[in-house]
Structure 1
Amino acid sequence: MTPDFVKTAPIQTLLDRASGMNAEGGDDRLKAIVRDLIEAVMVAIVKHDISESEFWQAVTFLQQGAGEFGLIVPGAGIEHFLDLYMDAKDSEVGLSGGTPRTIEGPLYVEGAPLVEGEANLSDDADDTDTLHMSGFVTGPDGEPVQNAVVHVWHANSQGWYSHFDPTREQTPFNNRRRIRLGADGRYAFHSKMPNGYSVPPGGATDRLMKAIGRHGNRPAHVHFFVEAPGYRTLTTQINFGDDPFAADDFAFGTREGLLPVPDRRDKSAFIAFDFQLQRAASKEDENFSTRARAKA
């Protein structure tokens, strides 16, 4: 049987009813999206001749993996796809330039301490090298961006993020800060060197990756939000260019222009990296996305 079966009248009627297309009330846009999503599942079932048992195994997997959807989405390439889609939409309207966007990931925590000057991100002792990172935030014409705030967060040397650390050994905002910049747009911070990490062993994401012959490793990296009045808020991260997984990030967070190689010497590593923002076309451009984020 071919996927054309889904286009038959009984199935199309079922789709209309299941998505509420013929029902009064509700959101028309949501109805259309739900209809397309259900239809896509039906097409996949027919195309691959998915059995009833296989289908319910998938449902069980999704139920068990509910706590890891934030990892499954980037691991499946969907979060990176959203970045590529937004890039393409920018290109259609003639927007270009600026630091590349890339995935946020699921491990941001709201309310990190707001500091000025050179920031120390690390509250906790960690027997590893010290990372020093600095640079400038500029606009599309190279102008210093005033009143910018740089949000920065990363893992510790064991690959654990504060707030999400199963050992419960980290303080709530270890390796997390918001840095308010001065008129020159310069930022600087130091912290204990982060390490790469893998998805939780035996968890839903790990099982999925192994089932399709992939690994679940991320290179060492540092996350950023950069926000400023009049500019589009940037979501990005840098991956360490000398990490063995820099070119094979399971979450597809690596992008050209975001791979600085640390200058490692004397128990320290130095990274110089500048951010360039695009101007906001509307107030909405200055806002963060409305995805749910953790609170300490």
Structure 2
Amino acid sequence: MQAWVVEKNEQRQIDDLQFIQIATPAPGADELLVKVHSVGLNPVDYKVIEGGVATWHYPHVVGLDVAGEVVAIGTDVSQFTVGERVFYHGDLTRQGGFAEFATPKADVVAKMPADLTYAQAAALLCGAMTAYQAIFRKASLTNRHTALIHAGAGGVGGIAIQLAKLAGLKVLTTVSKRKQAFVTNLHPDFMIDYRTQNVTQVVQQLTAGLGVDLIVNTIGAKAATADLDRLAYNGALVTIDGQPDLRASDYARRGIGVFSVNLGGAHQSKNPQQRQDLAKMATELGNLVVAHKLNPLVERQISFQEIPQGLQAIKAHEVIGKIVANWD
């Protein structure tokens, strides 16, 4: 089969990726063999290429988000049949999905709803599941009324805006002026241009000095630290990339909770309920799309041969929404 691979441990750049012929894998006892139709591209894809993973064996197939068709089943797998359409967020420590075939562990794989396309399914994994986990798995939504979603034009932020609105929250989001036209279609209640406006001051003005009940932060530790002053009493901060500095904060007196999302960590958790929840979250997101309640934000579709260019565009912050690469 053909696959995008890192051939050697020393190769640490997107441009080092090679599109080569390698052996088609056979599924292990607890695995599926999936014929890949579409894959989603994410920042984590180029970050692990640049950083490497100690458990990789070379050549290593990259890529985490896959939508495809079951073509073979491991001997211990009973919940799938050949021909079923499936999608999943993969384990970055194992061989990936930027290939003609992939062999995920069956317990993390979700069955695709009938009306979901492969491209939509591939777009609903790493970023969308991170947003789903932040909104519906981390902080309780009871007695929460307002949310601040950072980077509303991003793969996580754009889904988080929609999910927060579905949960009945008033949504504020940070987004640069040039991306506001895109984010307007997601119907946030207010957009803050973080380049020209003081985010904390605007949040306080819009909430009558109370702060927001929930913040989803995808942009790093510095912003997460500043978010502590943007939270209401009993507020919750959910971080995806970088933790806040709590040393100068009175977060305990204010009842603030700080939560972190590490979506892919479920693969190494050895916790079957958390592993299976990856498939459950994917299923729930897929059902929202086919019910026309969620836009998966597929803004660009490319061929498999163009995957390195897609990753370069993500790294250069040129992408709004999701890039999906298709075999078909």
Please state which band the TM-score falls in when normalised by the shorter chain: under 0.3
TM-score computed with the length of structure 2 as normaliser = 0.25
Determine which structure has greater relative contact order: mean sequence separation of CA pairs < 8 Å that are 6+ residues apart, divided by chain length: 1
The structure that has the greater radius of gyration is 1
Q: Choose between structure 1 and 2: higher helix proportion.
A: 2
